[in-house]
Structures are given as structure tokens and as C-alpha cells.
Amino acid sequence: MNLLRPTLLTLACLLASPGFADDLPSLGDASSAIVSPQQEYQLGRAWLSLLRSQVSQLSDPQLKDYVETSVYKLVETSQVNDRRLEFILINSPQLNAFAAPGGIVGVNGGLFLNAQTEGEYVSVLAHELAHLSQRHFARGVEAQRRMQVPMMAALLAGIVIAATGAGDAGIAAIAGTQAAAIQEQRRFSRQNEQEADRIGILNLEKAGYDPRSMPTMFERLMRQYRFDAKPPEFLLTHPVTESRIADTRNRAEQAKPGGIEDSLRYQLIRARVQLNYEESPGLAAKRFRAQLDENPKNDIARYGLAIAQIKGSQWNEARENLKPLLAKSANDITYNLAQIELDMNSNRLPDAQARVERLLGQYPNNYPLHQIRVDLLLKQNRPADAEKALESLLKSRPDDPDVWYLVAETRGLSGNIIGLHQARAEYFALVGDYGQAIQQLDFAKRRAGSNFPLSSRIDARQREMMDQEQMIKDMMR
């Protein structure tokens, strides 16, 4: 984590330098004359690759698909103009979510542990999207330029600290003795928070959700963490006060009654996240079984128990718990994916294949379904077919390092060694390790030998990566 902070602080200071700002076009507001939207985009992608290299991430395709789908649903009715979003799901049980310049949306697993309904979950993300739409980073840069240039670093550092969990002590250490400027920056941040709350509430209603979920989430978090010596990072960077709760409650109550408060899908995804943070599948099964004993009609607990049993290799028990769920909702994608996983693990591969083929007709663009199809093909020892399936998946997810990692493994199994090195290069570039990426393309070029067209394509991609690496190095100076 320590490597990330000085790198980004240097980048923030560079953005503040007059020479850098003079080349940026004015897009109609003062902040765009200092940090353009395109510069924010480049900054965000550079920052994401560095962050990916330093934090543990959640790679569950169903969780990734849910987060991406839910955020894009909010974006459709938001003021976010540049919708080239990228996501990072951080493997941490601590409550946190954040937005970084350039459309980077980060979610900790702990958000699902704390948000008890879908409405509470989306209220946090609506708030973060409001930070993006109002370009609070660029506006903060513009405000700080009128004070002290070195304090520019604290603005970006705040985003980094939110992601890495350093807390207020990190801000104090970075800022040093510039107490007056810190106070002004915090004042500006409070203004940003109020604006993000206001816009977030409006967008929740426009997206069909009950905006009352936002003050409900704030109220419960304040009660839950009121006496904690070290509250979650989200509450350090987004302080919840009585006045803030009252303001959001007043604004939310002006909305028409109704709107989505919760959904079955959210609760099923939440059960998957809860299982991830249990000490063992056995303990998770015990907890879900207790919930089911209390209410035998609790489908969420039954699903949680089934996936815990799959992870615990209790095939027959899991099958019995999935039966009533599938009988009630035969086409539910979440239940069917669990059944496919069960059939694969218990070596009922023909059953798994038949179910995958049926579901592909109903959900032709479903990412988790295509992912599990690749897993099945590999289980069937069909790496060449899996490689073809992954080529299709890459068209919709070209910047997903998890997909590129699997592409590399699959190409290796099918004997496509040049392709293996190419895929590894893409993976390493996405996680910020350009040295390894360029080296992998060297290996690919050696293998290409006298195949001039292939060698030329590899060489061109290598030059692109070297240019990307140099651009980042230049930004860091």
C-alpha cells in the first residue's frame, strides 16, 4: 500500500502544475481548464492499474455482473456524461465504496455485508456516481489552486486512502503542517458530500428506487458505529451526522411514495458475499440452516445453505436444497448457475452441459453463464473449444484482467503458446506491471519467428504498451 500513495500524490501535484494545465482545453467551466475530462480518464485508468496490483479483489462473476448491471442502471438516469466506467471489487469486509476520476467505481465486499437491502446498497452508489457527474475531483483541484498547490495532493490522496484504508491519520501525515489548507479542503469536501446526497436522492427516484433508503442507511450506520473507536473507512470519508441524516430524510420524503426497496437477486448476491467472509463453508451452512429452521420458506437462506454445501462438497444435501428453488423458479439464472456448479463438481457433466445450452438460449449475453460454460469446457478437457468461447467473451469484456488470466491458462492448455504469452501480456498491463507485459510479448515474438505478419502485430502491441508505460512514467515525474 505504501507505494501507491507517493505515486499518486506526485501525479496529483503534476496535475496542479501550471505547465500541465496550460495545455488543457476549456470545456465551459473553470475546473475543465485545469483538469480536462480526458485527463481525468487517463488518470483514472493509470490509478486503477496501480490499485489492482496492490489490493486483493473479488473475482466472482455473478458479483461482478450484479455490481456492473446495478451501476449502469443508475447511470442511465444520472448526470454522468462519460459512461466509460471501470470497476474494481475489493476483497475486504470493511464497509466502503468510492469513485475515482475517469469513471472508476470501487466497491468493497463489506458494502454488501452492511447494506441490508438493495435500496441501501444503491443509495451508496448513487452518492458516489454524483461525485463523478459533478466532477468533484476537478472542482477540488480548481479550488485548491486558489490556495496552495501542494494541497492538491490531499485531494487525490483522499481517494487513495478511502481505497486502502489508511484513515484520517494518512491525510494528516501527507498534509504535514498545512493545517489551514486542510481545514479549507475539508470544508469543500462537506459541500461535495451535501451535493452528492442531493443529486443521489434525485437519481434514486429517477431510477425507480425509493430514495428513503439513503437516510435509512445513514441512520442505521450511525447507530451501528456510534461508539466504535475506529469506524469503517466509508464513515471517515463520508461522515454521518444528525444534520446530514435530517437533510437527506427531508429531501427523500418529498419524493412520491413507492419505488424499489429490495430485490431477491440482491439478497442472493448478498448471501454469496456473506459466504465469502465466513471462516469455513461449514460455519456458513450452520448459519443459513438456522435461518431456514426459523423460516422454512426463506428462499435466500436455502440458497445460501445450498452454495455453502457445494463448497463443502456435500453434493446430495445441496441438490435437495436446490430442488424446491428450481421447482418454484425454473428459469432463475442464479439458481440454475448453482445447479450447474453442483453438477460440474459432482461430475454430472452431461447434465451441466444440457442446462448450459438451454440457458444460453434464454440469456445469450449473460457474463456469468458464459464464464461457467468455459469452466465446463475445461472440465470436459476441451481447451480448444474453451479458447473459442473465451474469444467471444473478450469482445464484451476486453479490459477484465480475470478474463485475460483465464485466456492465458486456456491457451496454454490448448498448446497455443504464442497466444498464452499475448494473453499474459494483456493481463499484466491491466494490473499495472508493464515490465512483465512487455517481457511476455518478447517471448511471443521469439515464438513467432519468421511469421512476419504475426510478429509485426505483436511488435505493434508491444510499442503501444511501451508508450502507455512511458506516459504513466511521465505523469509521475
Between the alpha carbon of residue 378 and those of residues 339, 342, 463, the distances in Å are 18, 16, 33
φ, ψ of residue 89 to 5 degrees: the values are -105, 115
**Which residues make beta-bridge pairs with 107?**
89, 97
Among 60, 142, 197, 233, the active-site one is: 197
In a domain, 68, yes or no: yes
Reduce the DSSP state of residue 101 to 3 states and report it. coil
In the chain, the number of structural domains is 2
Within a 13 Å sphere around the CA of 14, how many CA atoms are in the beta-carbon half? 16
In a domain, 274, yes or no: no
* Amino acid, res. 65: D
Q: What is the largest CA-CA distance in the chain?
A: 71
Which residue, 198, 233, 253, sits at the end of a domain? 253
- Rounded to an integer, what distance in angstroms lies between the CA atom of residue 340 and that of residue 329? 15
Q: What is the length of the chain? A: 477
Contacts of 67 (CB under 8 A, 6+ apart): 87, 89, 105, 107
Within a 13 Å sphere around the CA of 326, how many CA atoms are in the beta-carbon half? 15
Between the alpha carbon of residue 171 and those of residues 79, 196, 234, 236, the distances in Å are 30, 22, 15, 11
pLDDT of residue 476: 56
**Torsion over CA: 44, 46, 49, 52 (sign):** negative
Catalytic residue check, 219:
no
pLDDT of residue 371: 97
Q: Which residues are annotated as a binding site for Zn(2+)?
A: 127, 131, 193
448-473 exposure pattern, b = at least 16 Cβ within 10 A, e = fewer: beeeeebbeebeebbeebeebbeebe
In a domain, 428, yes or no: yes
Which residue, 253, 287, 309, sits at the end of a domain? 253
Which residue, 237, 253, 269, sits at the end of a domain? 253
In a domain, 303, yes or no: no
In a domain, 191, yes or no: yes
pLDDT of residue 301: 98
Catalytic residue check, 118:
no
pLDDT of residue 187: 45
Strands of the sheet with 86-90, listed across from one edge: 86-90, 104-108, 97-100
Among 40, 60, 118, 128, the active-site one is: 128
The domain in which residue 197 lies consists of 34-164+172-253
Low-confidence ranges of the chain (pLDDT < 50): 1-33, 136, 138-157, 159-160, 162-163, 166-188
Among candidate residues 290, 285, 331, the one with its CA nearest the CA of residue 304: 285
For residues 322 and 342, the answer to whether their CB atoms sit within 8 Å is yes
- Rounded to an integer, what distance in angstroms lies between the CA atom of residue 114 and that of residue 120? 9
pLDDT of residue 135: 57
